[in-house]
Amino acid sequence: MSTHPAEITERFKGTLVDTLGIRFTEATPDRVVAELEWREALTTVGGSLHGGTLMALADTIGAAATILNLPPGATTATIESKTNFFAAGRAGTVRAEATPLHRGKRTHVWQTRVTDGTGRLLSMTIQTQMVLT
């Protein structure tokens, strides 16, 4: 099962995802990929992408990945998230890729790598999503 990435982007219209400018580019139960463009409104005073921006990007695609794996009628919520920051994003397109570490009946755990346009690792997030039935 896969969903067209534009459908997921549209689902988040009017939310923080829309405000940040996150665009989904790939969406399957095994992998979700999204991008956003560096812009000054998403940075720290020093000009690098704010950690909260990177965390919101990772949280969004981990949640979207869980949604693609939910049974009918279920929803999800993030119950834990940990991010390590490795480098500053200072320009261009940032890419996030979420892959599953665990997909159980009650929880899903996703690892999200966020990279810049050169492939340099900016951050890695591991998050747990609760399956709500």
Supply the range of the domain harboring residue 88.
Answer: 5-132
Percent pLDDT > 90 in the chain is 89
> Which residue reads 């979207």 in tokens?
64
Number of folded domains that form the chain: 1
Task: Please tell me the distance from the alpha carbon of residue 19 to that of residue 2, in angstroms, as a whole number.
Answer: 25
Percent of the chain with pLDDT over 70: 98
Across residues 116-131, what is the average pLDDT?
97
Amino acid at 71: P
pLDDT digit string (tens) for 16-72?
A: 999 999 999 999 999 999 999 999 999 999 999 999 999 999 999 999 999 999 999
The CATH number of the domain holding residue 121 is: 3.10.129.10
Q: Is the pTM of this model over 0.85?
A: yes
